[in-house]
Amino acid sequence: MHSVGPKGKLRFAWLWLVLAFSSARVMHINFSSAFSVLLLFVFPKRRRAKWILTLHNGNLRKVWILPLWVHRIAFRRFDLCISLSESQYDFYRKLGVDKSKIRNGSSYIFFRESAEIDQAVYDEWKGKAEAFKVNYIASGYATSIYNHDWSLEKLSKSKNCFLALFLYGDSDKSVMDDINKYSGFENIKIFFGVDGATFNRILSEADVYLRPNSVDSFGIAVADAVNYGVKVIASDVCKRYPGAQTFRGKEQFFHYVDVFNNSFSNEKNNIGCEDLNEKKDSFGFYMDIYLECKGEG
């Protein structure tokens, strides 16, 4: 299974090599936007290979930089397309993807605990967090759609609250410049490139997780936080995991942060994995998809 590749400009060269020379029969390709799919227009596809596509950005803007027929051919190279929302389903259909090749699914698989964490990062967070009444977590790329400035602006003024912001992936320079303005605040700590196991350990011990995105497809960390019993404030730009407090707009986001601060209890939510009747783990869903593509389903 090929699940990790290089970052930056080398990632597409690495993907080309994997697609050209890997003996794997099923390739599940995850991109953030439809634009990336165009790169596969000239990528090799082995004769017996099956390609599955997931686009994990919830807002698939219909910007055609090439003739529409080019986009359609690129998408038709996939044997199956995973739709994470109704808007994604409509997007695929408008590109000519046949209904039989679209599967409605979720990108969430329940967290699996790992004992291997970065102890230094965890200890640094723990040492800061213990000095405050309420501990907040936010995470994501340093890009405008994550609205990190909302969390930073609001919590930098709250002396009894601590915000740990976990950034990963590519960043927008102007957004990063705005974020760095808060690096000197005593109750703000910015972490970069923390591994998933360490982040999940910290998330599980936090009080509140913030997800004020203006664009989202699901928010895996939202689901993880809910299952850890951590309170969640998340934008309503997509269907959220049951148990999250949703909001619309910056003013309402600030309002719920105030509500959580004023009524905060150290007791975790009653919501947990065993209590959510609506929760759905996609592990079985994807296993069925893979077996189908391999001709074993």
- List the chain domain ranges: 10-107+282-294, 119-275
Which residue, chain included where needed, has tokens 């850890």? 228
* Ramachandran angles phi, psi of 267, nearest 5°: -75, 135
Tell me which amino acid residue 288 is: D
Q: At 112, is the pLDDT very low, low, confident or very high (cuts 50, 70, 90)?
A: low
Which residue, chain included where needed, has tokens 């209904």? 99
* Ramachandran angles phi, psi of 95, nearest 5°: -90, 5
Same CATH fold assignment for domains 10-107+282-294 and 119-275: yes
Question: What is 10-107+282-294's CATH superfamily?
Answer: Glycogen Phosphorylase B; (3.40.50.2000)
Nearest to 276 by CA among 213, 217, 203, 227: 227
Rounded average pLDDT over 143-158: 96
Please state which architecture CATH assigns to domain 119-275: 3-Layer(aba) Sandwich (3.40)
Q: Which two tokens stand for residue 59?
A: 């807002």
Q: At 2, is the pLDDT very low, low, confident or very high (cuts 50, 70, 90)?
A: very low
Q: Does the pLDDT at position 259 exceed 50?
A: yes
